[in-house]
Structure 1
Amino acid sequence: MIITVASGKGGTGKTTVAVNMALSSREAVLLDCDVEEPNAHTLLKIGNETITSVLVPVPVVDPDLCTLCGKCADFCEFNALFVGKEEVLVYKEMCHSCGGCALVCPEGAISEKDREIGETRAATTDGIKLVYGELNVGEPISIPLIKAVKRNIDEQKLNILDAPPGTSCSLIETVEDSDYVIMVTEPTPFGLHDLEMAIDTVDAVGTPYGVIINRYGIGDEKVEEFLDERGVELLMKIPFDRKIAELYSRGIPFVNELEEYRSAFVDLIDKIKEYI
């Protein structure tokens, strides 16, 4: 089973929910797909990590074979190639590694070389397997690295994916092939606004979902009213609680200290299994 934990904005407690759910299951694979700013590992006791570079192919133009016909640039919808009067310029950061430019080159002047965009890090801790990605600074495209993290999905286990915040392509890539999505929000105007966008995005993907309200009690009831209007299931309320906040500030997942929440997450996992 694959459950993605998502949110329309950062700071709602998405990673907190993903980590505590994984620890509650005791035998989960936790995949942090927020590769631009992964932080699931900061809430876990990480030992030795297995580090793997993530490479993507980018075009290399042979000037001795290239006739500057421009077919490669015409093909590339991302404008990663520019054919000038004397040479072809390759903007590697804009390349999506489709390989199409090499296929359409009539002279066979384009080959490919690998370029590192980041790395994945894997470790086992507290009975769960954790894999997270780290995108190199300045890299604009995260999708290949998210795919690399997701290649660690174990179909025989519960897989919990911590998605990037927002509603961009990185969220859609993470949600793809998931069995269920848990949306984490907060009861504030910003939380509601971004939750609406996230729900519209996941609706378009077609994956079933429910909502957890974190820091319940700090705002109003408009999120609950919205969920009632849309017919979206409210899965859990995590209160705005000093004890939970203190544990978080010390880097301690609250299910390790508050057994009632471990039981609540186990019940939630069982409920999602029955739904699927």
Structure 2
Amino acid sequence: MSYKIAVCSGKGGTGKTTVAVNLFSTIQTKWTKNVQLIDCDVEEPNDLLFFKDAKVINRSIVNQPVPVIDESKCTFCRNCEDFCEFNAISIIPSVKYATIDPNMCHSCGACMHACKYNAIKEKNHAIGELTEYTNRNETDIIEGSLKIGSPLQTRVIKDLKKKANENIGIQIFDAPPGTSCPVVETVSEADYIILVTEPTPFGLYDLRLTVDLMNEMNKPFGIVVNKAGLGDREVYNYISEENIDLLAEIPFNRDYASQYAKGKLLANVPPIIEQEYLKLAIYLKNRMKYD
């Protein structure tokens, strides 16, 4: 069984991906190659931008079963339309028109239950893609990508998690930003959560929301402060007041930020930053002994 670590943030732009890919790289180079990175930010996956040598070894389609109306059997009674909570069904009896929008359908099956004439069947509809990469002669990285226009991030994330190799010792899940359903799905089976924040009012506000979510889900977690040295001390005051573990402080470094913008995040890491990631990896290694 793998030890699952999810990297989350209450808002975009805090450095969640920075932490996820650096932690993955640090563990691979300083600890063990028996680690896997899973990019669950399926609306905008970008972990692969920082692994130029990664090679595709497998691709698969994520399908969603979507109902289809057989107009030869349909009486246009609109019963299925009334049952649909997502407004995915449009029925116009006067012109004998019936259709289901696959981009709005959530595959709940209510319409098939509602239809008394056996006029609705399901067919597969592609909503995303899963791609497996090798970075160091292993299946190191898996990426989920949602089809543009589809609202079903959680479905893609569920299939992505199934792809993850349970025989690999450590799995790092790069979660979507925020606190909505895709985040809940990503962290639902995680053994430990790393919350990434920044020392700004916006960072603190969203951190509070994420901490509330972790507490509600009864998940163990600690905090990494990214861009340390900017902003104010309110985030640190909150961490101290709530007695939350401060796992690492990644100092703001203009040159390092420039490397990020060029997709060279893992090249020439400043020693002071490298030490913080090593400290984080050691903390996790020690924690795994007791979890």
Where do residues 38-187 of structure 1 align in structure 2 (5 Å cutoff)? 38-45=45-52, 46-85=54-93, 86-126=96-136, 129-156=140-167, 157-187=169-199
d(CA) in 2 for partners of 1:256 and 1:206?
38
Larger displacement relative to structure 2 (63-72 or 89-98): 63-72
Query: Which runs of 5 or more residues in structure 2 are unaligned?
Result: 29-33
Contact 1:24/1:255 (<8 A) preserved: no
Cα distance, 1:23 vs structure 2? 1.6
Contact 1:30/1:128 (<8 A) preserved: no
d(CA) in 1 for partners of 2:60 and 2:78?
36
Structure 2 partner of 1:17: 19
Select the residue among 205, 209, 213 that pairs with 1:197.
209
d(CA) in 1 for partners of 2:10 and 2:290?
24
Larger displacement relative to structure 2 (155-164 or 127-136): 127-136
Cα distance, 1:30 vs structure 2? 0.7
Contact 2:9/2:177 (<8 A) preserved: yes
Structure 2 partner of 1:33: 40
Q: Which amino acid aligns with 1:158?
A: I
Cα distance, 1:246 vs structure 2? 4.4
Structure 1 partner of 2:31: none
Query: Which runs of 5 or more residues in structure 1 are unaligned?
Result: none
Determine helix, strand or coil for the equivalent of 1:213: strand
**Is 2:283 the counterpart of 1:268?**
yes
Q: Which amino acid aligns with 1:20?
A: N
Normalising to structure 1: TM-score of the pair?
0.92
**Is 2:232 the counterpart of 1:230?**
no
Determine helix, strand or coil for the equivalent of 2:61: strand
d(CA) in 1 for partners of 2:67 and 2:193?
37
Contact 2:132/2:139 (<8 A) preserved: no
Structure 2 partner of 1:3: 5
Q: Deviations over 1:205-250 (max 9, x none)?
A: 2211111000110111100111122222111111112453344344
Contact 2:50/2:266 (<8 A) preserved: no
Cα distance, 1:65 vs structure 2? 1.2
d(CA) in 2 for partners of 1:28 and 1:79?
43
Determine helix, strand or coil for the equivalent of 1:15: helix
Determine helix, strand or coil for the equivalent of 1:48: strand
Q: Deviations over 1:118-170 (max 9, x none)?
A: 21111010366111112222222211111121112223321110011111111
**Is 2:220 the counterpart of 1:208?**
yes
Query: Alignment identity in percent?
Result: 41
Contact 2:71/2:119 (<8 A) preserved: yes
Say what the alpha-carbon RMSD is for the aligned residues.
2.0
Cα 1:48–1:155 change in 2 (3 A) is: closer
Alignment coverage as a number of residue pairs: 276
Cα 1:75–1:271 change in 2 (3 A) is: farther
Q: Which amino acid aligns with 1:76?
A: C
Cα distance, 1:255 vs structure 2? 7.9
Normalising to structure 2: TM-score of the pair?
0.87
Q: Which amino acid aligns with 1:82?
A: S
